Amino acid sequence: MLVGLATTFAALLVTGISLIIYEARTYQRTLLDDLSTQAEILGQASSAALTFDDPKSARESLLLLKAKPGIAVAAIYNANGKLFASYARDDQSAQTLPSLPELDGSRIEGNQLSFFKRIIDNREILGTVYLRANYELWDRLRSYVGILAVVMAFSLVVALLMSVWLQATVTRPILAVTDAARQVMERRDFSLRVLKTTEDEVGYLVDAFNGMLAEVGRRAEDLEATNRRLQHEMTERERVQEDLRKLNVELEDRVQKRTAQLEEANKDLEGFSYTVSHDLRAPLRAIQSFSDLLVEDHAEQLDEEARRKLRIVQDEGQRMGTLIDELLAFSRLGRKEVRKVDVNMSDLARTSFERLHDQHQGPRVEFRLAFLPSSKGDRVLIGQVWTNLIANAVKFSSKRDKPVIEVSAVSDKEENVYFVRDNGAGFDPRYQAKLFGVFQRLHSASEFPGTGVGLALVQRIVVRHGGRVWADSQPNEGATFYFTLPKEQSNGTI
């Protein structure tokens, strides 16, 4: 009800202010129009008097203004600006005539409105008419405001009576809806309904409220059923999680035990490899020594076939010695501490190639070395990686007329990728999984000599530095071997 009264009062107030402003502008415009008309009439009536210099006729024309009680003073000035004739309703007003006429226009001075208008005949200025009228705007506005106040008071009384009637008609069913909503909130009883008494918007509200209660009741039942089902599922899930936790604890114990067993087995295997490799040197040295003595002391007593077989024994003994050396190096690698420093990869790759190329007996190899980003690692171990990869490239491209070896690298945010590419024999990509195993070879020893340990060493060194190793090739189309080193490394062990 207060909102309705405030709205009505605001509307009446805006309307009243608008009417007051309109009344003020209308009064001023009407007064100016009236003065302009009077000045026009006086100018036409006085033009002949000004032409023939007859002030008496002009004064008689001004006396006609007695019929206009609102005009207090009037005067006619000739073309030279001198007072020609005047009229005043009282003596006090006569003393306030301006000494000189002004330009056409009007101005308000207190409660007086002054108006000037030139008398023009045949495009010649004959003089000026001056009128001063009473400006009673504030008196009119005060009376107007009084009338508006009475009207607004009466309107507010009518609005109050209408609000009381509307409250009884409209708010009763709304209060019923409010009471029902409060009971639903307090008792959680969605079976309550509000009685519909009208067919208007309030009736539609009651229908919507009752429909909402029915829908909420159905959803509450569904929610309770869902909550019961979820509670059951949560209980089952907690039971399963508890079983999984127990199983994880059991698996962790098994993994720890198995890891300890594997570590112990690895240590035993490394020790066994070292012992076997070391113990094999004694009989191998004896075989090589006695083979050499047999050649030196009894070569003349042996025929060509015997000497050929003896050379085979010497070559295989030498190969066995190389194999033992590489097996020992592979075994020691697991125990060797990694000392990481900044490694100039370009210098390391170039030095490795020059050392290998000096020992190479085949055709001259074209070596293409691109810029290699530096990395952190064990200089000796990384040097072994470059030596083994470049040695493989030299060996497998030695049967080409123009062997070419390319060394380059690419980088990303996490690692540097280095690669060695040759144009040699290549290999079948189906068997590349065997490349990095110990003693695994994809070519016969008669075609390309070797022990099959070099690439296994490469993989173990790179993995220990936190990198990866892989290869890409096709038969007779060369091979490319890749290895990566992370830009930020942590010490690792195998």
Is residue 78 a part of any domain in this protein? Answer: yes
Is residue 221 a part of any domain in this protein? Answer: no
Tell me the two tokens of residue 94: 């006569």
Is residue 63 a part of any domain in this protein? Answer: yes
**Structural domain range at position 438:** 336-486
Residue 463: CATH number of its domain: 3.30.565.10
**Number of independent structural domains in the chain:** 2
Task: Determine the Cα–Cα distance for residues 226 and 72; give it in Å rounded to an integer.
Answer: 94
Among 87, 116, 147, residue at a domain's last position = 147
Residue 140: CATH number of its domain: 3.30.450.20
Is residue 292 a part of any domain in this protein? Answer: no
Task: Determine the Cα–Cα distance for residues 391 and 405; give it in Å rounded to an integer.
Answer: 10
Helices (H), 304-378: 304-333, 345-359
Is residue 23 a part of any domain in this protein? Answer: yes
Is residue 218 a part of any domain in this protein? Answer: no
pLDDT tens string for the chain (494 positions)? 788 778 888 888 888 888 888 888 888 888 888 888 888 888 888 888 888 888 888 888 888 888 888 888 888 988 888 888 888 877 666 667 888 888 888 888 878 888 899 988 888 888 999 888 888 778 778 888 888 888 888 888 888 888 777 776 667 777 777 777 777 777 777 777 777 777 777 777 777 877 887 787 788 788 888 888 898 889 889 889 888 988 888 888 888 888 777 667 666 556 666 666 666 666 767 777 777 777 777 777 777 787 777 777 766 666 566 656 655 665 555 555 677 888 899 999 998 888 887 776 777 888 899 999 998 888 888 888 898 888 888 887 877 888 899 999 998 888 999 999 988 877 777 767 677 765 455 544 444 455 556 788 888 888 888 899 998 888 888 889 999 999 864 444 43
Output the pLDDT for position 493: 40
Task: Determine the Cα–Cα distance for residues 128 and 339; give it in Å rounded to an integer.
Answer: 116
**First and final C-alpha spacing in the chain:** 87
Among 98, 124, 147, residue at a domain's last position = 147
Tell me the two tokens of residue 53: 């210099």
Task: Determine the Cα–Cα distance for residues 472 and 395; give it in Å rounded to an integer.
Answer: 17
Is residue 248 a part of any domain in this protein? Answer: no
- Which of the 8 DSSP states describes residue 116? E
Output the pLDDT for position 92: 65
Is residue 108 a part of any domain in this protein? Answer: yes
